[in-house]
Amino acid sequence: MTRPHVWLPGTGTPPLLLLHGTGGDEHDLLPLREHLAPDAPVLSPRGTVLENGMPRFFRRLAEGVFDEDDLRARVDELAGFVAEAPTGVPAGTWVAAGFSNGANIASATLFRRPEVLAGAVLLAAMVPFRDGPGEADLTGKRVAVSNGRRDPMATAAHTDTLVAQLRGCGAEVAEFPHDGGHGIDAEVLPELRAFLAG
């Protein structure tokens, strides 16, 4: 547990695994707890990769081009961290709430290590693997996708492909689009909270 992180115990549900975007840290998404699942347990790790001094969860080769070998390795690293964290949260009950780079490792974790997560809230998410998700079985997992219609990175094509991949693996997926760009729209947060409570 030497990885920088924040652990906030709680009695609410679902337990949240908060995954920040590029240049963020373990404190960035903590305010989401109040909006998504007040009083829920929260585990918020920092990404272990540095890009020009900015923390990320995995390397990229260029803007929008992921180092997929590194992504696979970092998914396994994150899964190990979650499993070893002395939180008392039952395995497989975490819901990852990730923004941008954090959303991308969250979806990659669903596809590669589905036993780690019960679901995810993907904010400004792209497609993690060029060749698709493989043989992942996401039956019973609930995923919310909230991308901006004016997002130059997580485009409509990314959104459509990601949603189709998730549904193709059996996940229950709800879309919460907004009119903004590459960010989190406060207006969709009540809808995301209702989705998680549902």
Token reading at 161: 């492909």
Q: What's the CA gap between 25 and 40, in Å, rounded?
A: 20
Strands 94-99 and 16-19: parallel
CA distance 121 to 35: 12
Among residues 144, 139, 138, 137, the alpha carbon closest in space to that of 173 is found at 144
Exactly one of 5, 70, 76, 182 is catalytic; name it: 182
Determine which one of 28, 44, 100, 185 is catalytic. Answer: 100
Give catalytic status of residue 100 as yes or no: yes
**Residues 20, 44, 151, 185: which is the catalytic one?**
151
What phi, psi does 135 have (nearest 5°)?
A: -100, 20
Q: Which residues are catalytic?
A: 100, 151, 182
